[in-house]
Amino acid sequence: MIDYIVGPFQYPFMLRALIVSVLVGFLLPVVGAYIITRGRAFMSDALAHSLVAPVAVAALLGFTSYITAVPGGVAIALLMGYLSRQTGHQRRHLYRTWTLTPGQSISIEDLLLGQVLAVSQTDVLVTLVLTIAVAVGVYLFHRQLVFTTFDPVGASVVGIRTGIVEYVLLALLALVIVSGLQAAGIVLVMAMLVIPSATAYLLARRFVGVILVGAAIGVISAIAGLYLSYYANWPSGPAMALVAATVFGAATLHKRTFTVRADE
């Protein structure tokens, strides 16, 4: 039994994958709690898809994707926030479709679905730095983020600059999406951002509880998905998303069952 648990991590690539998966599984639901409460899930999806361009540029130039994805993602997120505020409503399609040219040294499948088993030591360090940066940002702006999320008018009245807080959240969102690309890919990073937080909303009663429970579900889903990837030979990103979706289904069933019994 112990061999089944620790056996996969005798390989260095699995150990690196575990570190990145845990960091990403923790990070995405933390920011995801603010995102889904504000109704910005579609903007997150658009932002994730728009990162194809910076990643493609890095591939063309022979750089690591983080060099262009981090500043490019933040810039795109801020631009989306600016356009959203100027037009007065959330844009769902503020991105273009980018076509990669033949001959580029980039795997479309890895870009879309992630390949956490191929992370390098540099990827681990960058993910750790991004995790620390986002955690510090959430800690420093948590009060303002919560206030502007639930009562933006009241926040403006007491002097909180809601526009700046919105841009800070979008910048944090860009960073967590960039950090999650390697593990979940552009398509599935949305699932790991939203599903654990949505599950936490079914189980927790306070917003802080939503953040903590969502982070725990994200970490568990990432680790369980990594085991499925190793033993069942499944792609790592889809396996993580499948575990998270299964937990969400179980939580939904439990919630409905509990509500029906309470009504009786």
Secondary structure letter of residue 105 according to DSSP: S
Q: Which two tokens stand for residue 161?
A: 């600059």
- The pLDDT value recorded for residue 93 is 44
Name the residue ranges covered by the structural domains of the chain: 9-263
Q: Topology of 9-263 in CATH?
A: ABC transporter involved in vitamin B12 uptake, BtuC (1.10.3470)
* DSSP output for 114-145: --GGG--HHHHHHHHHHHHHHHHHHHHHHHHH
Structural contact between residues 163 and 181, judged by C-beta atoms closer than 8 angstroms? no
- The pLDDT value recorded for residue 220 is 95
- Whole-structure pTM value: 0.80
Block mean pLDDT (10 aa), the chain, length 264: 80 89 91 88 76 73 72 82 66 41 51 73 88 92 91 87 88 86 74 91 91 94 90 86 93 77 49
